Amino acid sequence: MSQINTNASVAKILVAPSVILLALWMIVPLAMTIYFSTLNFNLMIPGGRDFIGFENFYWFLTDPSFITGIINTLVLVGAVLIITVGLGTLIAVLVDNPFPGRGLVRVLLISPFFIMPTVNALIWKNLLMHPVSGLFAWLFRQVGLEPIDWFTDLPMTSIVIIVSWQWLPFAILILMTALQSMDQEQLEAARMDGAGPISTFWHITLPHLARPLVVVIMIETIFLLSVFAEIFTTTSGGPGTQTTNLAYLIYTQALLQFDVGMASAGGLIAVVLANVVAVFLIRAVGKSLAEQ
């Protein structure tokens, strides 16, 4: 009895530093942001920081690009999640078999994750997707096709490709490591029972990957909700507002004018939306977390 109590209190002490630090990290900026969001606070205009209530929220929410921004954010998160999780699972299963040079293949596969987002966007934008001098344009012309004008005609697709390239290795990495802890005997038994590769995958591999998949989805979602550098470097949210997500909208609407009040209001709205997304995700995938 007393053993359990000591353990519980030791556990509390161990968790405490993380909780306290994160609480501070959340509360201090959040409190400042809430306070600033009610002020008429523009860095470019010194002096008078009047209290204006919810006016900043009103202006941010009634911005014509606001709805577009939300839709784009969700499209970007959704598309990248589907691509990285789908392809990631397939590739992880593919390289789970032994074959010559497997170590090197794995190294190559996870490499893009080490590349800075800005560098990633610059390489794709200039060296690969440039409609005149890019490699893709040349390849298209080689096979007699009209080169695609990526950032004009398919702006969101281009961003999704770039961001997916960045995050696919993360999914591969986590799933690949998870696959290694699969119970080989169980697999062997299934095979003996005459289960085909698809049904083995469906009934044994996939359930085994449930928890790592949750981790991949949760972590990717967190990062994808606030993708900024890739958009800033390539399309600047355009053409029009086709690639403006919430993070970029806050930047153009608020930070370009150094309107701290608006930026704060936008930030708070983004937090609320992110949490809504998170709650849905948790509903959808979080069950496996609780069950195990």
Q: Applying CB under 8 A, which of residues 54, 239, 280, 284 lies at the interface with another protein?
A: 239
How far apart (Å, rounded) are the C-alpha atoms in residues 290 and 284?
Answer: 12
Q: Applying CB under 8 A, which of residues 74, 187, 210, 222 lies at the interface with another protein?
A: 222
**Contact 54/38 with Cβ under 8 angstroms?**
yes
202 CB neighbour count, 10 Å cutoff: 12
Q: Which residue has the tokens 């992110």?
A: 274
How far apart (Å, rounded) are the C-alpha atoms in residues 231 and 84?
Answer: 19
Site mask, another protein, residues 6-35, x = CB under 8 A?
-xx-xxx-xxxxxx-xx--xx-xxx-xx--
Q: Applying CB under 8 A, which of residues 100, 144, 194, 291 lies at the interface with another protein?
A: 100
Q: In the chain, what is the straight-line distance between the N-terminal and C-terminal CA atoms, in Å?
A: 25
Q: What is the CA radius of gyration of the chain?
A: 24
Beta bridge mates, 259: 42
Q: Is 145 in the site for another protein (CB under 8 A)?
A: no
Site mask, another protein, residues 55-74, x = CB under 8 A?
----x----xx---------
Q: Applying CB under 8 A, which of residues 49, 74, 117, 195 lies at the interface with another protein?
A: 117
Beta bridge mates, 134: none
Site residues for another protein, window 263-282 (CB under 8 A)?
A: 263-264, 266-268, 270-271, 274-275, 278, 282
Output the smallest distance, CB 292 to another protein, in A.
7
Q: Is 240 in the site for another protein (CB under 8 A)?
A: yes
How far apart (Å, rounded) are the C-alpha atoms in residues 149 and 151?
Answer: 6
Q: Which residues contact 170 (CB under 8 A, 6 or more apart)?
A: 84, 88, 113, 216, 219, 220
Choose the binding region for another protein from 76-84, 90-98, 187-195, 199-207 (rule: CB under 8 A): 90-98
Tokens of 151: 């950032």
Q: Applying CB under 8 A, which of residues 176, 204, 209, 213 lies at the interface with another protein?
A: 176
Q: Applying CB under 8 A, which of residues 53, 61, 82, 177 lies at the interface with another protein?
A: 177
209 CB neighbour count, 10 Å cutoff: 22
Choose the binding region for another protein from 76-84, 142-150, 186-194, 198-206 (rule: CB under 8 A): 142-150
Output the smallest distance, CB 188 to another protein, in A.
13
Tokens of 184: 């080989």
Choose the binding region for another protein from 75-83, 131-139, 188-196, 199-207 (rule: CB under 8 A): 131-139
How far apart (Å, rounded) are the C-alpha atoms in residues 76 and 214?
Answer: 18
Output the smallest distance, CB 7 to another protein, in A.
6
Q: Is 126 in the site for another protein (CB under 8 A)?
A: yes
Q: Count residues near another protein (CB under 8 A).
A: 137
